[in-house]
Chains A and B, each alone.
Chain A
Amino acid sequence: MTPETAQQFRALEHQAHDLMNFFCEVGYEAVAPSVIQPADIFLDVVGEDLRRRTYVFSDTDGAELCLRPDLTVPTCRLHWQRCTQNGSSTLARYCYNGPAFRFQPADASTAHPREFRQLGIELFGDKNKERADIEVLHLIVEALRRAGLRQFRIRIGDLGIFQDLLSVLDLPARWRDRLRASLWRPDTFRDELRRLATQPDASIEGLPEALVVALRGCDAKAAERVVTRYFDENDIELIGTRTLREIVDALMSAIADAEADALPAETVRLIELYFDVKAPARAAGARLADLMQENGVDIAPALALYQKRLKLLTELDIDVATVEFSAEFGRTIQYYTGFVFEVLAEPLGERSPVAGGGRYDNLMRMVGAKVEVPAVGAMIHTERLLSVVGDGGRRD
Chain B
Amino acid sequence: MTETLVFAIPSKGRLMDRTLAVLEQAELYLQRFGSSRGYRGEIKGLENLEVAFMSAGEIASALRSGRAHLGVTGEDLMREEVSAPEACVEFVTKLGFGHADVVVAVPKCWLDVRRMRDLGEAAIQFRRLHGRRIRVATKYMNLTRGYFTRHAISDYRLVESLGATEGTPAAGTAEAIVDITSTGATLTANGLKILADGVILKSQANLIASRTARWDPETRAAQNQLFARLQL
- Taking Cβ atoms with an 8 Å cutoff, the residues of A that contact B are 43-44, 47-49, 51-52, 105-106, 174, 177-178, 181-182, 184-185, 188-189, 192, 205-207, 211, 227, 230-231, 236-242, 246-247, 249-251, 254, 334
Contacts and interface: CB of A to CB of B under 8 A. Distances in A.
Interface of B: 83-84, 87, 107-115, 117-118, 120-122, 124-126, 129-130, 132-133, 142, 145, 148-149, 151-152, 154-158, 169-170, 172, 175, 191, 196
B126 A227 contact: no
A251 B109 contact: no
Given A44-B133, A105-B84, A181-B120, A247 B157 contact: no
Contacts of B152: 181-182, 184-185, 188-189
State the majority secondary structure of interface residues on A.
helix
A273 to B, nearest CB: 22
A246 B125 contact: yes
B149 A246 contact: no
A177 B121 contact: yes
B154 A240 contact: no
25 contacts: A48-B148, A48-B156, A48-B158, A49-B145, A52-B83, A105-B83, A177-B121, A181-B120, A181-B121, A181-B154, A181-B155, A182-B152, A184-B152, A185-B149, A188-B151, A207-B114, A211-B111, A237-B108, A237-B191, A239-B191, A241-B172, A242-B110, A242-B122, A250-B121, A254-B118
Contacts of B142: 52
Contact of A47 (B112, B155, B175): B155
Contacts of A231: 109
A227 B149 CA distance: 32
Contacts of B148: 48
Contacts of B149: 48-49, 185
A230 B111 contact: yes
A181 B124 contact: yes
Given A181-B124, A241-B130, A246-B126, A47 B111 contact: no
Nearest to B132: A44
B109 A239 contact: yes
A238 B111 CA distance: 11
A181 B148 CA distance: 13
A249 B124 CA distance: 13
Chain A to chain B: the 10 pairs with minimum beta-carbon distance, closest first:
A188-B152, A250-B112, A185-B152, A206-B114, A182-B152, A239-B170, A240-B107, A47-B154, A240-B169, A251-B112
A205 B117 CA distance: 12
Interface centre among A188, A239, A247, by most B CB within 10 Å? A239
Nearest to A46: B154
A192 B151 CA distance: 11
A247 B110 contact: yes
Nearest to B196: A206
A238 B133 CA distance: 20
Contacts of A49: 145, 149, 154
A178 B153 CA distance: 10
B158 A51 contact: yes
Given A44-B132, A181-B152, A227 B172 contact: no
Contact of B125 (A51, A236, A250): A250
Contacts of A242: 107, 110, 122, 126, 175
Contacts of B114: 205-207
Contacts of B154: 47-49, 181, 184, 334
A188 B142 CA distance: 20
A184 B155 CA distance: 12
Contact of A239 (B83, B107, B117, B120): B107
B157 A48 contact: yes
A177 B124 contact: yes
Contacts of B87: 106
A185 B124 CA distance: 16
A44 B125 contact: no
Contacts of B107: 239-240, 242
Given A182-B120, A239-B109, A241-B175, 14 more contacts: A105-B83, A181-B121, A181-B154, A192-B117, A206-B115, A211-B111, A227-B111, A238-B109, A239-B107, A240-B169, A241-B172, A242-B107, A242-B126, A246-B125
